[in-house]
């Protein structure tokens, strides 16, 4: 009973904080809007709107409150969630930018003889054979991490949703990390032997 009252109180307080921050005409008493905009600028996330960040943060805070987590100060807790969401988006942006840089290195206009990473049809067949030797679960882990830029936690969640993992906890995340590095080592060793 007391827990339900605390959850309800926290949810109402969260709703009020979010409403004030999202409503541009209202007085943002906790300066949450300014805080979010400053972090967006600080992390160079200019293609994100502060409202998008606040809504994502509100959804995460709501799920934590509903799960029964006791929160003393909703405002401080919510500011921390905003910071974590922005950090996460920043990491994803950096990964995507780095991937874009790597892929832009291989332009079609370049002379293949100058490109050190030119893959002949024979090598391509061997690479495909080496890739096919990996189990499909490990292929997915390597692909999601190296190509799509997923975190190990995101991969664990996806494997759990597909029924390939029994749970989505830190132990599974650590196992996925080990599988990823083991698979990369295995691929490198087999490629070096080509």
Nearest to 127 by CA among 115, 139, 137: 139
pLDDT value of position 105 = 54
Does the pLDDT value for residue 186 go beyond 60? yes
Domains for the chain: give ranges and CATH numbers.
Answer: 2-101 (no CATH), 119-192 (1.10.10)
pLDDT value of position 19 = 85
Does the pLDDT value for residue 171 go beyond 80? yes
**Dihedral sign of CA atoms 57, 60, 66, 68 in order:** negative
CB–CB of 39/83 below 8 Å?
yes
Does the pLDDT value for residue 60 go beyond 60? yes
Across the range 50-71, mean pLDDT stands at 89
Segment 100-122, tens digit of pLDDT? 666 555 544 544 444 445 667 77
Segment 16-45, tens digit of pLDDT? 888 888 887 766 666 888 888 899 999 888
């Amino acid at each position: 009973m007391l827990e339900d009252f605390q959850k309800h109180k926290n949810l109402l307080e969260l709703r009020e904080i979010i409403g004030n921050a999202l409503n541009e005409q209202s007085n943002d008493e906790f300066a949450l809007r300014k805080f979010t905009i400053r972090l967006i600028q600080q992390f160079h996330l200019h293609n994100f709107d502060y409202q998008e960040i606040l809504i994502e943060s509100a959804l995460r805070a709501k799920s934590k409150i509903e799960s029964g987590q006791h929160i003393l100060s909703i405002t401080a807790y919510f500011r921390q969630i905003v910071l974590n969401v922005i950090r996460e988006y920043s990491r994803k942006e950096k990964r995507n930018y780095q991937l874009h840089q790597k892929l832009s290195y291989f332009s079609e206009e370049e002379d293949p003889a100058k490109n050190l990473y030119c893959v002949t049809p024979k090598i391509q067949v061997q690479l495909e054979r080496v890739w096919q030797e990996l189990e499909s679960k490990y292929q997915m882990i390597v692909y999601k991490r190296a190509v799509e830029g997923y975190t190990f936690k995101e991969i664990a969640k996806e494997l759990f949703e597909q029924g390939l993992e029994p749970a989505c906890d830190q132990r599974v995340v650590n196992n996925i990390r080990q599988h990823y590095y083991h698979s990369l080592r295995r691929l490198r060793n087999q490629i070096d032997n080509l």
